[in-house]
Structure formats: structure tokens, C-alpha cells
């Protein structure tokens, strides 16, 4: 997605801004929360730490190119 070429006037995102041609402003602090359905935890076990997710099957909604696909 190219927000400039696609004609967007404004975009909201969480994370680092890779393209320095764009202007970013912090609107508010945020915190990330990890949630899992009970059925998922029954199939795959409890998540003790976010780094444990590296051994879990990837969620189909997370693109492999996403920074969120790389948990450390």
C-alpha cells in the first residue's frame, strides 16, 4: 500500500515510519496487549512470554513482511 500514490490524505499507524518523506506525529501513547482464545491455548499451550510465539503457528492475518511477524 502506498498512501501517497493511492491518494490518502491521512493515515494512522503504529510503529516506526520507514519513509522519511512522510510526516509523523505522536497522537497518544499506546500499549500492546496479547490476547488468545481459550481454544487456541488448549491446542497450542499457554504463552509464557511473547518470545514463545516464535514456536507457534503464524496467524493468517499477519503478513510475513509485517514487523509483527518477527517476535523477539
Per-residue pLDDT of the chain (72 residues; tens, 9 = 90+): 677 788 888 877 777 777 667 788 888 887 877 788 898 889 888 888 878 877 777 766 665 555 544 554
Are the CB atoms for 51 and 72 separated by under 8 Å? Answer: yes
C-alpha to C-alpha distance for 44 and 15, rounded to whole angstroms: 28
- Look at the chain and report how many structural domains it folds into: 1
Report if pTM > 0.85: no
Q: What is the pLDDT of residue 51?
A: 82
Q: What is the pLDDT of residue 72?
A: 46
39 HSE (CA, 13 A, CB side): 0
Query: Is 51 a domain residue?
Result: yes
Query: Is 45 a domain residue?
Result: yes
Query: Is 20 a domain residue?
Result: no
Identify the domain containing residue 61 by its residue range. 38-69
Amino acid at each position: 500500500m502506498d498512501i501517497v500514490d493511492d491518494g490518502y490524505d491521512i493515515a494512522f499507524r503504529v510503529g516506526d515510519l520507514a519513509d522519511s518523506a512522510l510526516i509523523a506525529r505522536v497522537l497518544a501513547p499506546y500499549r500492546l496487549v496479547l490476547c488468545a482464545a481459550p481454544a487456541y491455548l488448549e491446542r497450542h499451550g499457554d504463552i509464557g512470554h511473547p518470545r514463545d510465539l516464535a514456536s507457534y503457528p503464524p496467524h493468517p492475518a499477519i503478513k510475513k513482511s509485517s514487523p509483527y511477524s518477527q517476535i523477539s
